[in-house]
Amino acid sequence: MQKSILTISCLAFGSFLPLFAQSVVDVKNEPRHHNIFENEYVRILDVHIPPRDTSLFHKHSLPSIFLSLSNVRSGSQVITENKNAPARQQGNISFEDFTLGSRIHRVWNSDSVAEFHPMDIELLHKNPAIVAPTLKDDALQLVFDVAQARAYRFIMAAHSDKSLLPVKVPLLIICLSDSESGIEVNGKTFRKKGDYLFIEPLQIHRYKNFGDKGVELAVIEIK
């Protein structure tokens, strides 16, 4: 979770728009937002902003899940935003629905040493399914449940092995902890924050933690 966030809102949007209109890009085209995976359900943008660097002005217009994977001071200059758009947040996992109003902003990293590393998961599926709660385990903590997605925080204890039953919608699993020993999700090894796996519907998902410490995951049902 970020140590502090400074947000500057430009209230007189009309006077600023001509200045920024030509330089605003869609978030998927912003050069520090790297598209590392895309299908009909999601687009995963892995964001890396170096120390003392600033992104271009960019626009968010799709429902999005944000994961904060670094602990640095960062800031955001907001040009336009619908403050009535629904948002959910718990620690380093948050959701914002930009379909009711987009955000145009730029983001900077105030840290002089470490990079700012969030992930922006855009939800692309146009016809969300109605999904009854299905994932049940003592290690699962529900973060949010909205029309487009349901997200859990999943703590895998040291040297543990768990299998969860299939669900009828796709799953996106993202690692929120670094692990030298690594964990396995359906045979794929995760070792660092941001490692991910997209799981097709109706597949059992099995988790193995080989290390001496607990590992935190985000488990997301894409409706």
- Please check whether residues 77 and 170 belong to one and the same domain: no
CATH number for the domain harbouring residue 110: 2.60.120.10
Q: Is residue 97 part of a domain?
A: yes
Q: Is residue 84 part of a domain?
A: yes
Q: Which of 61, 94, 123 is the last residue of a domain?
A: 123
Paired with 113 in beta bridges are none
Q: Is residue 133 part of a domain?
A: no
- Please check whether residues 75 and 155 belong to one and the same domain: no
On the question of pLDDT at 8 being above 50, the answer is no
Total domains, the chain: 2
The answer to whether residues 216 and 176 touch, using CB atoms and an 8 Å cutoff, is: yes
| Dist CA 150 CA 222 (whole Å) | 7
What is the per-residue pLDDT for 216? 97
- Please check whether residues 42 and 90 belong to one and the same domain: yes
Q: Which residue has the tokens 């998961």?
A: 121
Domain residue limits at 162? 140-222
Q: Running DSSP on this structure, what letter comes out for residue 29?
A: G
- Please check whether residues 174 and 79 belong to one and the same domain: no
Nearest to 90 by CA among 62, 115, 67: 67
Q: Which of 98, 123, 148 is the last residue of a domain?
A: 123
Q: Which of 123, 151, 171 is the last residue of a domain?
A: 123
| Burial category of 160 from C-beta neighbours within 10 Å (exposed 0-12, middle 13-18, buried 19 and up) | middle
DSSP, collapsed to helix, strand or coil, labels residue 215 as strand
- Please check whether residues 101 and 154 belong to one and the same domain: no
Q: Is residue 171 part of a domain?
A: yes
At CA 42, angle to CA 194 and CA 157, rounded to 5?
40
- Please check whether residues 16 and 82 belong to one and the same domain: yes
| Burial category of 213 from C-beta neighbours within 10 Å (exposed 0-12, middle 13-18, buried 19 and up) | middle
Helix (H) or strand (E) holding 14: helix 13-20
Q: Is residue 29 part of a domain?
A: yes
- Please check whether residues 17 and 103 belong to one and the same domain: yes
pTM (whole model) above 0.85: yes
Q: Specify the range with the lowest mean pLDDT, choosing from 3-17, 32-46, 77-91.
A: 3-17
Please report, as a single letter, which amino acid is at residue 114.
Answer: A
What is the per-residue pLDDT for 22? 54
- Please check whether residues 109 and 146 belong to one and the same domain: no
- Please check whether residues 167 and 211 belong to one and the same domain: yes
Residues in the chain: 223
Q: Is residue 178 part of a domain?
A: yes
| Dist CA 138 CA 212 (whole Å) | 20
- Please check whether residues 25 and 101 belong to one and the same domain: yes
The whole-chain average pLDDT of the chain stands at 89
| Dist CA 205 CA 175 (whole Å) | 14
| 88-145 pLDDT, tens digit each | 888 899 999 998 889 999 999 999 999 999 999 999 998 998 888 878 899 999 999 9
Q: Is residue 132 part of a domain?
A: no
Q: Is residue 52 part of a domain?
A: yes
Determine the average pLDDT of the residues in 57-86: 90
- Please check whether residues 183 and 147 belong to one and the same domain: yes
- Please check whether residues 144 and 114 belong to one and the same domain: no
